[in-house]
Structure 1
Amino acid sequence: MLDIAAICLVITALLSYLNHRFIGLPTTIGVMAAALALSLVLIGLDAVGVAHGLRAYEESLLRSIDFSDVLMQGMLSLLLFAGALHVDLSELKAYRWQVGALAVLGTLLSTLAVGIGMWLVLPLIGLDLPLMYCLFFGALISPTDPIAVMGILKSANAPKELELVIAGESLFNDGVGVVIFSLLLGMLASGVAPTPGQGLELLLHEAGGGLLFGWVLGYVTFRLLKSVDNYQVEVLLTLAAVTGGYTLASALHVSGPLAMVVAGLMIGNHGRALAMSDTTRGYLDMFWELLDEMLNAALFVLMGMEVLLVAFSLHELVAAAVAVGVTLAARLLTVGLPVRLLPRAFNLPAGSWKVLTWGGLRGGISVALALSLPAGPERDIVVALTYGVVVFSILAQGLSIGAVTRRAIRCR
């Protein structure tokens, strides 16, 4: 395992260097594009009988890494906490209803819209995917990925309130999406559809329990931080709270992602203001920012390399292109239009609906959930569709979100 980690670290470091030195793209986009290009070159060379050994080695390396487990049980807790750590809670409270509506109702409606849309469209292009798997795809692709969103938003220069809503939505809707996905997975395993009451109970237990657990974890950590003044100990306490708290949340069957977001908000606001010296704040920010950047780079490198393990037929390539259109249409219907038609309720600058629609980036969480489905031809189709949407989201939407933001807000 140490050898695999070392190889991944070396690849990530080299691709980060190449991007910074020669390409100049935002780190998340640049390293993923470089890793994707490297994998595609190996596929091309192998197709003409060259570098077969290199492709075989990269495939064996990727197969030895459980991407779903590495992200969902390893990186995710750290990345969500780091992202929430720098969100101003007082500003977020002013948009709590807007963020809540987009994260909960928007994700639920988008799951249905994408799932039913794909179920209706796929037979027209020669692919037959059961409704349940179409809904799986809807659940895993509807949440915007906070790791991708917050990494790319830094360079978009969006108005502060719009950036706050996009970041807040992305931090919370992935937890909702994971709960919906888990509910559907339970239906598939049992073969019995839960009643609306059972579904609501599961949602309240997972999501509500995650929020409550995150508050308790954040408060206990805050009290511990307040009782000492030693930056080494305090940074270690936050790291222990994240890793241990996420493990405990999983054991309690509550949403770990939501718990990490709430804990991060509490430590980043109350903890930063009331429990830390200036020295500790500086070291804490530096530690979590550095960890965030390194894990982000490693995650997007892995995502770029994963293309070697995704089986694309001509039908699946066409279906992936269709999935991009369906996903964007669902985002427009469930997020863009409400913001456009209810400007007073959302209280955002005119033109924000365009940014919210185009800025709904997907990333590693969607890929990890797709890979966690039971093995079979349906899973292979869902993985191909997911990978296609994620690659388009990061490379096309991520590269253009800054221009879309400037145009949408300037031309309001």
Structure 2
Amino acid sequence: MLSQLNWDDVETPLIICCWLMCIVMAKIIFHKSKIGHYIPESSLLISLGLVVGYILDHLYTWDMFLHPDLFFLYLLPPIALEAGYFLPFRMFFKNIGTILLYAVVGTCLNILLISGILYLFSHFFQDSIPYIDLLLFSTLISAVDPVAVLSVFEEIHVNQLLYINVFGESLLNDAVVIVLYHSLAHMATIEKIEGKHINEAVLSFATVASGGVIIGLLFVIFTAFATKLSAKIQVVQPLICLLLPYCCYLTCESVHMSGIIGIVTCGLMMKPYLDGNLSEKTKTTTKVFMKTMSNTCEAIVFLVLGLSIFSKSHIWDFVFATVTVVACVLVRFIVVIPLTYIANSKRVKRIALVDQAIIAYGGLRGAICYGLVQTLDQEVILAKDMMITTTVVVIVFTVFIQGSTIAPLVKLLRVKIEEEKPQLISTHVLNGFSDDVMAGIEAIIGRRGGNYYRRRLSDFNHNVLEPNLMLRPTSRGSRLVERVCEINAEESRKRLLENF
């Protein structure tokens, strides 16, 4: 009958569509109103989840939470792929030493110091928590999510050095945290931890991380070759650019390697090859779809996080939550400043003190923390519910308080802004010229440094990889011609706008 409703058949997809439309409407309102100048977008989504959660809490008895499989298999890969693909390639590798110092050494120090502070105050907690459990919790709570900070950076146009260090550190930090978390989660099941178990954990970390990089590089080759073969079937190319990195993530996870390192490596390294295989329209389609997928997945996480605040399984421990929040903020400053001092001793262009303060203050927590804490085994980690509650408190505090005050702080400290320089051909030429000069100087003095190996890798890429993996292999000359065309097009556009 026409009047009969088939609600059961369409219930799930219709509810999903309604949730997504709520996110879309919230984003439209956020960007249309002045509220976006004062609070980050993630704060709005958590608030929306809070309101909806309050309503549902009075209508239903069931709990809303983020299932770990949903997060790690479906929501995290698009976020990681987009971050890797849009990472500024040249700036990232120029600052790779400093970024690794923050992401690897800094993360390990954060974990040790936070766990030490929690252990010192453990006598004041409601329940007795073993040190290994505190270490595991300190690991997951050390994952930073600077989406709100980076959006402020883009709006204000902070200097590139600050931007790339915050972006790169957060990206690799998430990968390091996830790998360490899985190693420590295994150690938490061991009754008596000995030296051999620690050695196994360190070896496991190195194996899982390097395995993720290798698999990621293999899928870069697959993706580049597939887009080259499908040059005449452009409609499938965006699908290839999304599916193969996702297959990379799943492959890594299936062989117990780091999926996030694999997909970030794939996204970062495949971009130069895609530029030679995709048309301009296809590149635009791929970029927009990546951005849309990533933004939607992150929005879902923050929305569910807001909903979960009304969960009936929460165990509130005021002391544990307060100590954790203070430790997260304080330890980040304690770690960033000495590590920057070490980095500056080896750098030509040093990181200013005000930039260090912003890097430390920008350690917001987000999706990774919330996803990891949900995977804790309740039978092994007895304080899981209390840790989930505290994680939500830390995320809400950092997103609302630190995220909302980062823009005024940047202006107050007068952080150096990236000056808008005129687009000159000479600038583009000299970027490569300086690398060649440094490589030549190293060859003359008989020293093989970073510039020498960069030159060798560039030659290998140009002579071996690009001819086989790219439909239109690029050279420095072709890139220069492309740059000239871009500058001419931009100048013509400006002249037309001035005339009209």
Q: TM-score, normalised by structure 2?
A: 0.73
Matches within 5 A, 1:11-30: 11-22=22-33, 23-24=35-36, 25-30=39-44
The superposition leaves residues 367-408 of structure 1 with CA deviations (integer Å, 9 ceiling, x where unpaired) of: 111111112641112112211111111111111222222333
Distance 1:341 1:247, change over 3 A: closer
Indicate conservation of the 8 Å contact 2:224/2:277, yes or no: yes
1:386 maps to: 391
Q: Which amino acid aligns with 1:330?
A: V
2:411 maps to: 406
Matches within 5 A, 1:197-276: 197-229=199-231, 230-268=233-271, 270-276=272-278
Paired with 1:199 and 1:375, the residues of 2 have a C-alpha distance of 22
1:100 maps to: 100
* Deviates most, 139-148 or 357-366: 139-148
Shift of 1:174: 1.0
Tell me the secondary structure at the aligned position of residue 299 of structure 1.
helix
Tell me the secondary structure at the aligned position of residue 345 of structure 1.
coil
Tell me the secondary structure at the aligned position of residue 413 of structure 2.
helix
Q: 1:349 aligns with which of 343, 347, 352?
A: 352
Indicate conservation of the 8 Å contact 2:41/2:148, yes or no: no
Matches within 5 A, 1:102-181: 102-124=102-124, 126-145=126-145, 150=150, 153-155=153-155, 157-181=157-181
The superposition leaves residues 145-203 of structure 1 with CA deviations (integer Å, 9 ceiling, x where unpaired) of: 26565555434533211111111111111111111111111112233534343122101
2:47 maps to: 33
Paired with 1:174 and 1:156, the residues of 2 have a C-alpha distance of 25
Q: Which amino acid aligns with 1:365?
A: I
Q: TM-score, normalised by structure 1?
A: 0.88
Q: Which amino acid aligns with 1:267?
A: M
Indicate conservation of the 8 Å contact 2:40/2:399, yes or no: no
Paired with 1:156 and 1:254, the residues of 2 have a C-alpha distance of 38
Tell me the secondary structure at the aligned position of residue 60 of structure 1.
coil
Whose Rg is larger? 2
Identity of aligned residues (%): 21
Paired with 1:398 and 1:263, the residues of 2 have a C-alpha distance of 30
Indicate conservation of the 8 Å contact 1:336/1:356, yes or no: no
Matches within 5 A, 1:41-52: 42=54
Q: 1:285 aligns with which of 287, 300, 312?
A: 287
Give ranges in structure 1 of 5+ residues lacking alignment: 43-50
Q: Which amino acid aligns with 1:355?
A: I
The superposition leaves residues 346-386 of structure 1 with CA deviations (integer Å, 9 ceiling, x where unpaired) of: 53233111011110111011111111111264111211221
Indicate conservation of the 8 Å contact 1:235/1:284, yes or no: yes
Distance 1:341 1:221, change over 3 A: closer
The superposition leaves residues 55-79 of structure 1 with CA deviations (integer Å, 9 ceiling, x where unpaired) of: 155663625x51x222111111111
Paired with 1:312 and 1:367, the residues of 2 have a C-alpha distance of 14
Paired with 1:220 and 1:93, the residues of 2 have a C-alpha distance of 23
Shift of 1:312: 5.1
Tell me the secondary structure at the aligned position of residue 188 of structure 2.
helix
Shift of 1:278: 1.7
Q: How many residues end up aligned between the 2 structures?
A: 396
Distance 1:311 1:239, change over 3 A: same
* Deviates most, 172-181 or 30-39: 30-39
1:368 maps to: 371
Indicate conservation of the 8 Å contact 1:148/1:363, yes or no: no
Indicate conservation of the 8 Å contact 2:215/2:252, yes or no: yes
1:190 maps to: 190
1:296 maps to: 298
User: Does 2:336 correspond to 1:335?
Assistant: yes
Paired with 2:153 and 2:128, the residues of 1 have a C-alpha distance of 37
Q: Which amino acid aligns with 1:373?
A: L
Paired with 1:62 and 1:291, the residues of 2 have a C-alpha distance of 22
Paired with 1:253 and 1:365, the residues of 2 have a C-alpha distance of 19
Paired with 1:59 and 1:335, the residues of 2 have a C-alpha distance of 44
Distance 1:396 1:163, change over 3 A: same
Paired with 2:211 and 2:234, the residues of 1 have a C-alpha distance of 31
1:46 maps to: none
